[in-house]
Amino acid sequence: MFESLWLESTLDQLAIIYIAVDAQNRARLSEGVERLNRRLSSDPLDVGESRAGGFRVAFTPLLMVYFHVDEMKRRVRVTDVIAYGN
C-alpha cells in the first residue's frame, strides 16, 4: 500500500472546483476522487501517464490530477488539480 498525501494548496483548488459545479457534478467529482485515491493507494504507477521528473497525470471526471510517486517511501503526493472536461 502507498500513502496518499494531498498538498494543502491542491485541496484548496479542489474545493474551488467542487463549489463551482452543480450538485450532480459534485457527486461525479467526489466519486472520481475517491476512486483515484483507492487506485493511488494500491498501484500508483499503473495510474495515468508518466511525465518528466517522476510526475504522473491522471484524468477523473471533471479533473486533471498531477501527482508524484516515491517508490522508496511508498508515498504518493498529489500536487495539482485542474478543472477538465464536463
Q: Per residue in 72-86, pLDDT tens? A: 999 999 999 999 987
Domain residues for 27? Answer: 3-83
CB atoms closer than 10 angstroms to residue 19: 8
CA distances from 77 to 21, 22, 27, 50 (A): 25, 28, 24, 14
The grid coordinates of residue 78 equal 498529489
The grid coordinates of residue 70 equal 516515491
Mean pLDDT of 26-30: 97
| pLDDT attached to residue 32 | 96
- Number of structural domains in the chain: 1
Q: 62: domain CATH number?
A: 3.30.2310.20
The grid coordinates of residue 5 equal 498525501
| pLDDT attached to residue 42 | 96
